[in-house]
Structure 1
Amino acid sequence: MENTIQGNNPLRALGLEERTGGELHAMMGLVMARAGLGKTAILVQFALDCMLLGNKVLHVAIGEGLEKTRVWYDDILSLLTDGEKVDDIPAIMKNRMIMTFKESSFSKALLEERLDDLVQQNIYKPECLIIDGYDFANNDKKSLEELRTFMNERGLKMIWFSAVSHRGDQRVSLDGVPAPCHEVDGLFETVLFIRP
């Protein structure tokens, strides 16, 4: 059934696994859109794809509660399985941990501390990291570079971020990536921009 779920994942159309030879490698990706256009849904699909490949995923939800994040997974899985009951889902979900942060309290140092506690106690060691709600407007390039170093030091295969773009902010990078990520787009191997 896992192959069916993977095959039903519309993100397969992007061909990202072909660029990596089917293997996950250390990379940072970014999903950008205005508020309410589906960034979290796409991040959850990336997470599910990683989980179906047997990788453990840590989903960091900044400014969102545990239950709301969990519902995203339930809803996306229901769509990918056409609402059928799938016996493998509990085994798949063992590869996911959700960690929540208040918007005002998230920092690389706090994430590192909480994750190290889990790893040192042999509770959970993720291979993939989803950071949903990262505040690009109030963090600089150095902060993202530190997260890339964190990824490499922890042996993470990938980190996917979400970022909110705003219609009134016309700043863009040379590659067309809009603010607030226009000055850090070079740190990402893949940038997906959702237009309404």
Structure 2
Amino acid sequence: MIAEEVNDNHPLRLLDEKTGLPNAEISLILARSGVGKSAALINFAIDTLLDGHQVLHFSAGMDSAKVHDYYQEIYTAFLKFNPEDRSHPWEELNNHLMVVSYRDSQRMINDLDEEIETIHRQARLSPSLVIVDGLDFDGNAEGQLRRLHNLAGKHKLRILSSMRIHRNADGSLDLEGPRQIAMKQTSHLYFMEPHGSRSHLEFQTPEGQTDLPVYFCHEHLVFRPA
């Protein structure tokens, strides 16, 4: 049984105090390519696994074996900063994780409802968190976010996803357009802004953004207290 004791200074505990991941809703991380979106999602997933809950991870563009390897790599980094987790070997956590991989992100989104129902019915998996990774903020983004929003409500699930955003013609990062579209479907929107060896995590609101008391460490691929 996974212990429920957690370190009060754990960065994701600090994040829970500020925002958290609400049930029956989608939470979304926006960032440009190469910032660490996939690893950031896995941080939340590992935290859920350590709490004794099941995680369902959908990935577009990364095969299942590579995703599992990535989880194990990041879990190893977790142990450096959270030694109390050493009593839970990776093999124990892996029993609570299911990964489903797709080559095409749109097909993945189209299949999500059926996949969730099939996994629940046949594998008896009742995930506490669903990760959806590998999405791009393109012409399909608004429809994809709407579908994720509806699925979170239908299945009463916490869904955490990320989307890659791009640069404008002048080289500036196009955040405002995706931000406005995303906020129609979620009240829990985050932006990862890189600064050297780390990325700051900003919580987006209609009035602007709020810096959160954590940062993402590029070297170790984990969140740390700011």
Q: Which runs of 5+ in 2 are unaligned?
A: 195-226
CA shift, 1:2, in A, is: 4.8
**Bigger CA drift: 3-12 or 57-66?**
3-12
Matched residue SS, 2:167: coil
Alignment partner of 1:165 is 2:165: yes
Q: 2:110 — aligned with what?
A: 109
Summarize the Cα distance change of 1:195–1:171 in structure 2 as closer, same or farther, 3 Å threshold: closer
Give the residue type in structure 1 aligned to 2:159: I
Q: 1:120 — aligned with what?
A: 121
8 A contact 1:135–1:163 mirrored in 2: yes
- Kindly report structure 1 stretches of 4+ aligned residues shifted beyond 6 Å: none
Cα RMSD (Å):
2.9
| Identity over aligned pairs, percent | 26
CA shift, 1:112, in A, is: 1.9
Summarize the Cα distance change of 1:183–1:59 in structure 2 as closer, same or farther, 3 Å threshold: same
8 A contact 1:61–1:100 mirrored in 2: yes
Q: 1:184 — aligned with what?
A: 182
After superposition, what is the alpha-carbon deviation per residue over 1:138-193, rounded to whole angstroms, capped at 9, x for unaligned? 3253442222221222221x111111122336586xxxx44444312232222221
CA shift, 1:87, in A, is: 4.3
After superposition, what is the alpha-carbon deviation per residue over 1:60-84, rounded to whole angstroms, capped at 9, x for unaligned? 1111111221122112111111297
Q: Which runs of 5+ in 1 are unaligned?
A: none
Summarize the Cα distance change of 1:160–1:93 in structure 2 as closer, same or farther, 3 Å threshold: same
Q: Distance in 1 between matches of 2:52 and 2:156?
A: 15
Matched residue SS, 2:48: helix
- Taking structure 2 as the reference length, the TM-score comes to 0.70
Q: Distance in 2 between matches of 1:59 and 1:33?
A: 19
Q: Distance in 2 between matches of 1:104 and 1:82?
A: 34
Q: Distance in 1 between matches of 2:42 and 2:9?
A: 14
Aligned residues: 188
Q: 1:27 — aligned with what?
A: 25
8 A contact 1:9–1:80 mirrored in 2: no
Q: 2:68 — aligned with what?
A: 70
CA shift, 1:13, in A, is: 3.1
After superposition, what is the alpha-carbon deviation per residue over 1:40-63, rounded to whole angstroms, capped at 9, x for unaligned? 111001111222223211111111
Give the residue type in structure 2 aligned to 1:13: L
- Taking structure 1 as the reference length, the TM-score comes to 0.79
After superposition, what is the alpha-carbon deviation per residue over 1:103-136, rounded to whole angstroms, capped at 9, x for unaligned? 2552433122222222122442222111111233
Q: Distance in 1 between matches of 2:105 and 2:75?
A: 31
Q: Distance in 1 between matches of 2:7 and 2:113?
A: 30
Q: Distance in 1 between matches of 2:32 and 2:105?
A: 21
